[in-house]
Amino acid sequence: MMTVNEVSKLTGVSIRTLQYYDTIGLLKPDGYTASGYRLYDDTALERLQQILLFKELEFPLKEIKRIIDAPDFDRDKALSQQIELLTMKKEHLEGLIAFARKIKTTGVNKMDFNVFNTAKMDEYAREAKKQWGQTAEYKEYEEKTKNQSSETQKTAWKNLMLIFVEFGKIKNKEPGSKEVQLLVKNLQDYISEHFYQCSNEILNGLGKMYASGAEFTENIDKAAGAGTAAFVAEAIEIYTAR
């Protein structure tokens, strides 16, 4: 656990900014010292890294919060897209630097504004944003949770993980068995009640994401045992095909 002062020194983010992130619900501390100072764990620091990467791409704080709070936010996929956007930004800046140097050394021979064109980068960003919490399902989730405390939201996620723990206990059974399929139905109903309406199509997509090998797989297998994410995905595929 790190104090707000230690996090500020480590990251270069001012204490006042960290306090503001807490106020708007963008980055909540994991706890407080006896004196009332904020404390941050590794999970909070990972979230701060995501916030700072999106800030480098000039995303508004409100939009950053919406993206990383989305129930289907995939950190690994977001990182790949951020790397692509940052690379585009780097190439754009290098082009501007070269253009400025050319003007300085040789003067302006013709009016060329192509170097200022960011259309390709802007289009990629727009496409990426469509995958970052812009769905109707996320809007429903946002509406359901807007008046909930952070503790209530944490409990909802914790109970969701407990369903995966139940899957882990029966992953030696056939994924198409009645017991396993009933648990898939419980998972679908829980998502619909606490997050967003989970149709068979959406559930099928979630199943693929659970077994994608990214953060979701890691978290599920960590909580419920190795191989659970893949087992859930197979059970979901059978359930949605019926």
What is this structure's pTM? 0.50
pLDDT at 188: 94
Instruction: Give the residue carrying structure tokens 């994401």.
Output: 209
Q: Which residue has the higher pLDDT, 166 or 95?
A: 166
Q: Which residue has the higher pLDDT, 181 or 30?
A: 181
Q: List all residues 6 or more positions away from 145 whose beta carbon is below 8 Å from its beta carbon.
A: 153
pLDDT at 111: 56
Q: Among 111-115, 150-154, 229-233, which is the least confidently predicted range?
A: 111-115
Q: Taking the mean position of all CA atoms in its chain, how far away is CA 170?
A: 29
229 and 170 in a common domain: yes
144 and 126 in a common domain: no
pLDDT at 130: 59
Q: Enter the tokens of residue 237.
A: 């595929």
What whole-number distance in Å separates Cα of residue 48 and Cα of residue 43? 9
110 and 81 in a common domain: yes
Single-letter amino acid code for the residue at 13: V
Q: Which residue has the higher pLDDT, 91 or 48?
A: 48
110 and 159 in a common domain: no
Supply the range of the domain harboring residue 186: 140-241
What whole-number distance in Å separates Cα of residue 7 and Cα of residue 13? 8
Q: Enter the tokens of residue 220.
A: 């599920």
pLDDT at 196: 82
Which sign does the torsion angle of CA 134, 138, 144, 145 carry?
negative
Q: Name the domain count of the chain.
A: 3
Domain contains 175: yes
